[in-house]
Amino acid sequence: MSKSILVTGGTKGIGRAIIERFAAEGFDIFTCARNEADLASLKTFLEEKHSSIKVLAIQADLSKKADVTRFVNEVKTIGIPDVLVNNTGVFIPGTIHDESEGNFELMMETNLYSAYYLTRGFAQEMIARKSGHIFSMGSVAGLTAYPNGGSYAVSKWAMLGMTKCLREELKPHQIKVTSILAGATYTSSWEGVDLPIERFMKSEDVAESVWAAYNLSPQSVVEEIVIRPQLGDI
C-alpha cells in the first residue's frame, strides 16, 4: 500500500517543493490552496510526471475553520495521511503597535489556527494507527524578534509552542512531531525585494531537510530543524 503526504498551501514555494520531493518517492499527495487554477496546474504536473501516484487537490481557504473541516473530511474519504505538513501561511510585515487592523486575526487564523484544527482532524486516527509524522512550518521569526515581525512573529512563536506540546502529547503513540524553523526562503512572499536571489535559501533545501527527518529510524526523531541562509538572516 502506497504512503501519502498531506501538505497545506502546496502550489508554491516550500509547500510545492515538499510535494515534489515526496512525489518523486512514490507518495500519494493531498493538498489544498486558495487558487483553483494553481491547484489544477499542480495536479496535472504531478500526474504527468509520476503516473503511479494519486493526487487530491482541493480549493480551500484554511484561515476559515469551515474550510479546514471540509478539507479534512474530503481527505478522510480516501485515507489518513502518513505525513502531515502544516505549511499554510501568510506574512504581512508590520509592528504590533501600528499594523493594520485585522492583520493579527488574519495571520493567527492562517498560520496557527489552521494547523491546530487540521492536526486535530487527523490525530485520533494517527494515534489508533500508532504511526505518523507531523511537521509544522515555523520560522526563525518564532525564535528571535525581528524588525517588522509584528503579528507574523507572534503567530510563529505560538506555532512553535503548539508543536512542542504536540511532541510531548504524541510521542507515547509513536507519532513523530518536527518543527521546521526556516529563514528567508525565496518564495512569492519575497518577490520584488531588492536583493539577489542568491541571498535566499532554496525551497528545495527545506524540502530535503523534511525528507531527511522523515527517513530516520523509528527510534529517533528530529524535534526542530533551524535552517538559515548561509550569510545569515535577512
CATH code for the domain of 148: 3.40.50.720
Average pLDDT over residues 170-196: 88
- pLDDT band (50, 70, 90) for residue 188: confident
- pLDDT band (50, 70, 90) for residue 87: very high
Please state the pTM of the whole predicted model.
0.95
Q: Residue 89: left (phi > 0), alpha (psi -120 to 50), or beta? A: beta
Answer yes or no: is 187 within a domain: yes
Answer yes or no: is 18 within a domain: yes
Answer yes or no: is 117 within a domain: yes
Answer yes or no: is 22 within a domain: yes
pLDDT digits (tens, 9 = 90+) for 141-164: 999 998 999 999 999 999 999 999
**Which residue range is the domain that position 90 belongs to?**
4-227
* Cell numbers at 14, concatenated: 516550500
Q: What is the pLDDT of residue 68?
A: 98
| Overall number of domains in the chain | 1
